């Protein structure tokens, strides 16, 4: 828990207007001795190739982001239960996406085709049913709920298999207008509920060396989801639905594994009109001054802080905001950085630092660009003097 910076508090005040939010609940078993390392890769790929692109596509529609990234030692059935039960939907246009990567199991007498999730522990009495998560989220009143479990659907553990053949695809942090529209269509063109899992009853979910993700080992389900997302703009269509996406994934994985792994899903959706774009406003100086007068001993957790900063930067790069206001805010926000602070730009794949800038250069670039869609804050280090280190990933326009 960290003390919130005075300027960031203004974002919470602004946020009190309750814009719609996309809630990400990711539960990933990154410490298991058998699957931990490939799940670490799965997490990186999922965030880099899927989550960030969805956030970038929904930002112009006025969607804020709330990320619950539970992994490592924080993962537990109790934590999952708490996060799912306590999740609050503040707008009927909210979207919830639940994504689990880890071990799974099913009971022989189970009527549901969907598995139970081990959540990083071994007590079978504590497993969390995917169906339970689906039912919980369905009752929250969000516009769209997507519940996905990437795990085995029998009692076997994940094991490495032979190499499928695909072309190499390094992450490109650029998105075309067509891809953005397809993602907006997917997430906003329907209302209702989706449940999916990576294997049919009694099947295991496999991890492979994935050539198109630099031969790293990760689960084939997440790799296929992200691969389809990477290729989205090449699809000869102007719209995409969850059923089409999940069926394509199922067919592809079934083919690649010779029928040993066949993902399943159900969709309960009705068509909806995609709302028009909104421009998120940069905070005004008066708001900032007002915020600093308020007792600022609020404490927030890292996820909230990173999401809030992402929101600030995404508003800053929006070309629909007047340039003078963007530049003014950039100069104001520069004061939140410590002397000699450094901003590092991280590659979409993995954690290569592809560029470094001082805060003035970074903020000035954001304030004057019309080429950046979304800025994800990957990590932040604070001190009494302000932001010492900032790690970001940028998604740019392709055209």
Partner 1 sequence: MKRIALLLISVLALTTMLSAQDLNSPKVKSQIQIRATQKVDQLNSNISSMADKDYNRDERMYFAKAAKKLFIANCEDFYDYEARKNVKGVTMEVTSRYRKSVNKILMRNYFTHMVDLKYTDVEITSSDIASMKVSNPQRISENTFVCTVQFDQAFVGYRDGRAVYKDITTKRVKCYIDIERTEAGDEYIVRLGNTSAIATKPYN
Residues at the interface with partner 1 (CB under 8 A):
168, 170-174, 214, 323-324, 327, 344-345, 347-350, 352-357, 361, 364-365, 367-371, 394, 396-399
Nearest 5°: phi and psi at 80?
A: -60, -45
Could you tell me which of 168, 142, 249, 239 has the C-alpha nearest to residue 205?
Answer: 249
For residue 58, what are its two tokens? 């929904």
Long-range interactions of 243-248: CB distance < 8 A, separation 24+: 243/267, 243/269, 245/186, 246/194, 246/196
Q: Please, what is the minimum distance in Å from the beta carbon of residue 218 to partner 1?
A: 15
In 10 A of CB 383, how many CB atoms? 11
Residue 78 or 285 having the CB closest to partner 1: 285
Residue 294 or 354 having the CB closest to partner 1: 354
Residue 151 or 395 having the CB closest to partner 1: 395
Please list, residue by residue across 158-196, b when 16 or more beta carbons sit within 10 angstroms of its beta carbon and e when fewer do. Answer: beebeebeeeebebebebeebbbbbbbbbbbbbbbbbbb
Segments in the chain forming alpha helices (H): 6-15, 36-46, 52-58, 77-86, 130-138, 177-188, 220-230, 242-256, 285-293, 302-316, 323-334, 359-368
Residue 124 CB contacts under 8 Å (≥ 6 apart), including other chains: 105
Residue 161 or 365 having the CB closest to partner 1: 365
Residue 212 or 268 having the CB closest to partner 1: 212
Q: Please, what is the minimum distance in Å from the beta carbon of residue 364 to partner 1?
A: 5
Q: Please, what is the minimum distance in Å from the beta carbon of residue 137 to partner 1?
A: 36
Confirm if 216 and 41 have CB atoms less than 8 A apart.
yes
Q: Please, what is the minimum distance in Å from the beta carbon of residue 303 to partner 1?
A: 22
Residue 16 or 168 having the CB closest to partner 1: 168
Residue 79 or 396 having the CB closest to partner 1: 396
Q: Please, what is the minimum distance in Å from the beta carbon of residue 341 to partner 1?
A: 15
For residue 67, what are its two tokens? 């990320």
Q: Please, what is the minimum distance in Å from the beta carbon of residue 295 to partner 1?
A: 35
Q: Please, what is the minimum distance in Å from the beta carbon of residue 195 to partner 1?
A: 35
Q: Please, what is the minimum distance in Å from the beta carbon of residue 48 to partner 1?
A: 11
| 377/394 Cα distance (integer angstroms) | 9
Segments in 151-219 forming alpha helices (H): 177-188
For residue 100, what are its two tokens? 């689990």
Q: Residue 230 to residues 6, 74, 212, 234: CA-CA distances in angstroms?
A: 38, 30, 11, 9
Q: Please, what is the minimum distance in Å from the beta carbon of residue 173 to partner 1?
A: 7
Residue 37 or 91 having the CB closest to partner 1: 37
Residue 67 or 314 having the CB closest to partner 1: 314
Handedness of CA 236, 173, 194, 257 (dihedral sign): positive
For residue 2, what are its two tokens? 């960290």
């Amino acid at each position: 828990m960290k003390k919130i910076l005075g300027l960031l508090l203004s974002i919470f005040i602004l946020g009190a207007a309750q814009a719609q939010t996309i809630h990400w609940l990711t539960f990933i078993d990154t410490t298991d001795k058998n699957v931990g390392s490939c799940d670490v890769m799965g997490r990186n790929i999922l965030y880099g190739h899927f989550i960030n692109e969805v956030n970038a596509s929904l930002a112009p529609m006025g969607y804020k982001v709330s990320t619950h990234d539970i992994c490592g030692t924080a993962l537990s059935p109790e934590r999952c239960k708490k996060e799912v039960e306590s999740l609050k939907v503040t707008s009927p246009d909210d979207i919830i996406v639940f994504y689990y990567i880890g071990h799974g199991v099913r009971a022989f007498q189970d009527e549901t085709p969907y598995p139970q999730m081990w959540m990083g522990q071994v007590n079978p009495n504590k497993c969390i049913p995917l169906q339970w998560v689906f039912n919980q989220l369905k009752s929250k009143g969000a516009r769209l709920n997507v519940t996905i479990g990437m795990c085995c659907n029998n009692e076997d553990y994940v094991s490495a298999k032979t190499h499928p053949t695909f072309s190499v695809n390094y992450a490109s942090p650029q998105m075309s207008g067509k891809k953005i529209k397809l993602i907006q269509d997917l997430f906003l063109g329907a209302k209702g509920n989706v449940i999916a899992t990576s294997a049919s009853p009694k099947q295991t979910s496999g991890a492979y060396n994935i050539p198109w993700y630099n031969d790293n080992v990760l689960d084939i389900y997440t790799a296929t989801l992200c691969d389809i997302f990477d290729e989205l703009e090449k699809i000869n269509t102007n719209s995409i639905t969850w059923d089409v996406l999940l069926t394509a994934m199922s067919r592809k994985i079934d083919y690649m594994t010779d029928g040993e792994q066949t993902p399943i899903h159900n969709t309960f959706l009705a068509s909806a009109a995609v709302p028009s774009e909104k421009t998120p406003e940069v905070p005004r100086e008066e708001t900032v001054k007002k915020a600093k007068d308020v007792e600022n001993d609020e404490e927030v957790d890292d996820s909230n802080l990173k999401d809030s900063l992402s929101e600030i930067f995404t508003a800053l790069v929006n070309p629909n905001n007047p340039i003078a206001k963007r530049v003014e805010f950039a100069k104001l926000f520069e004061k939140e950085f410590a002397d000699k602070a450094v901003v590092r730009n991280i590659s979409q794949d993995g954690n290569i630092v592809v560029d470094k800038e001082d805060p003035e250069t970074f903020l000035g670039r954001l304030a004057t660009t019309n080429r950046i869609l979304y800025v994800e804050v990957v990590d932040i280090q604070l001190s009494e003097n302000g932001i010492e280190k900032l790690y970001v990933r940028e998604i740019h326009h392709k055209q």
